[in-house]
Amino acid sequence: MGKHPSFQLLLLSLLTTEVCQGEDMTATMMSLVEVTSPPPLMKSRRSILAAQFECYLRILHDPPHTDSGPYCNRTWDGWLCWDDTSPGVTVQQCPAYFTDFDPSEIVTKVCNSDGQWFHHPDSNRLWTNYTLCTAYTRKKVEVALTSYYLAVVGHTLSVVSLLISIFIFSYFKCLSCQRISLHKNMFMSFLLNSVLMIIWFSKVILKEKEDAYYLDSEAAPWHVSEIGCKLLSSLIHYTSCSNYFWMLCEGIYLHTLIIVAVFVGEQQLGWYYLLGWGFPIIPAVIHAVARLLFHDDKCWIVNSTLLYIVHGPIQVALVVNLFFLLNIVRVLVTKLKVTHKSESSVYMKAVRATLILVPLMGAHFILVPMQPKDRLPLAIYEFVMNICTNFQGLLVAIIFCFGNGEVQSALRRKSIQYRAQWRRRLVTTDSHCTYHTQSSITETSRVIISLDNTPPNSEDDKTRTTTHSVNGQSNGKHCSNGDQAPLETSDI
């Protein structure tokens, strides 16, 4: 949803359009009356005709050129309108008629010293240089596609990792505490944001490509769900804001737990729920109302200054959170120097995760004003921004769950327990197989002894004793001293 030329190109159809380098007015007019062209070209012709009409009005009504000396007359070159121009090179931005034209590039037209527009030496026709309009389009489209796939992959990985993390925190009861409850709520906000972003990319961004095939925007299929599209945009802003306010809740909780001594016991989490889930509704609703009133473009895709309604509170939350965390670190470092208590070290580990996450999550807000203009630095900039914005859920899961020592210990204990249970099942299965084998041998022996008229009592007692002994050894649930195996009784 950022205002990047490459990302905006992705929103349009990637069909290539042949670019006419000459000013052949006859060919231009013939293309305008062509009725069998696909819908994207119909839309382009409509835009060209509107621009041509406005140009002719300017030619008729603008005041005449008053400077002395030769000059080139105002003209319409088939795509752009040119005013009266003194000798030299004049430039304009590339038009947005075609999907492979980059509006950020420039068009040049040369006025000769004799007051005549430049003629191309091959065709001997008036010529405007549109070559830059498509020179870097393919590269920018490749960057846009890379950004798109990075976003989809990043949010998909975030969804998977966050679901696993929430399951781990919910499954292991030994991890249940107020801090983990805050973790789970923060994970849920990131999970919702990633799910909504995947829907946005699949249902909105790709639908924009289809819209280019229709002459009128009302004819596009997405027009039917335009309200849903704007609602989805508002929900994304809400969940994005909620992410950062749940991070702020983490910082406030740690600050209250460590710095404010009066709250030694359990804290009331209701205020945290109100801040994390409730407060972000306010900027999201204000932004939606402002967009409806002042910048109601289709699906609210185009970036605008109104986004500061959402980004402003986010930046405030980041600054406040950073202040809390730095103050916590200052206090803990002081305690460690004075007391050398292990308790301070434990708190330091808890703070470290949040302290690492805050700069990572706020990096893209710091980098926004630093967007470079050159192509290679811009590509690197967009790659870094994609990592910072689209892999946030994955980073949160790694820092707060997979990298958490308590979680790793709980998983390790559960793994040992499962392996012990599996080995015990294998031993039990082998014992049962041995028992049935011995039983078959005993029955066979009985038949042979009976046929030989041998007294069965003594042998039968022996075989029964043997069988009972084998069966007794098959029970692996108890140790040799009669106590239950310790791994079986462990409750993770």
Query: Start-end ranges of CATH 4.10.1240.10 in the chain?
Result: 20-129
Report domain 20-129's class. few secondary structures
Q: Quote the pLDDT of residue 433.
A: 55
182-225 pLDDT, tens digit each: 999 999 999 999 999 999 888 877 665 555 444 344 444 444 36
pTM of the model: 0.65
Residue 346's pLDDT is 63
Tell me what the pLDDT averaged over the chain comes to. 74
Residues of the chain with confidence (pLDDT) below 50: 1-38, 212-224, 444-445, 447-449, 451, 454-492
Q: Which residues pair with 82 in a beta bridge?
A: 75
Residue written as tokens 């099942």?
A: 425
> Is residue 132 a contact partner of residue 123, using CB atoms and an 8 Å limit?
no
Q: What is the pLDDT of residues 67-120, one digit of tens each?
A: 888 889 999 998 999 999 889 999 999 998 887 788 888 999 999 988 899 998
Given this model, what pLDDT does residue 265 score?
63
CATH topology of domain 137-410: Rhopdopsin 7-helix transmembrane proteins (1.20.1070)
For residues 304 and 359, give the distance between their C-alpha atoms in angstroms, rounded to a whole number: 25
- pLDDT confidence of residue 214: 42
- Of the candidates 264, 317, 314, 259, which has an alpha carbon nearest to the alpha carbon of residue 287? 314
Q: What's the pLDDT at 204? A: 78
The string of DSSP codes covering 37-105 is S-HHHHHHHHHHHHHHHHHHHHHHHSPPP-SSS--BPPEE-SS-EE--B-SEEEEEEPPSSSTT--TTS
pLDDT at 258: 80
User: Cα separation of 123 and 25, whole Å?
Assistant: 13
User: Residue 473 CB: number of other CB atoms within 10 A?
Assistant: 12
Q: Where in the chain is the domain with CATH 1.20.1070.10?
A: 137-410
pLDDT of residue 359: 66
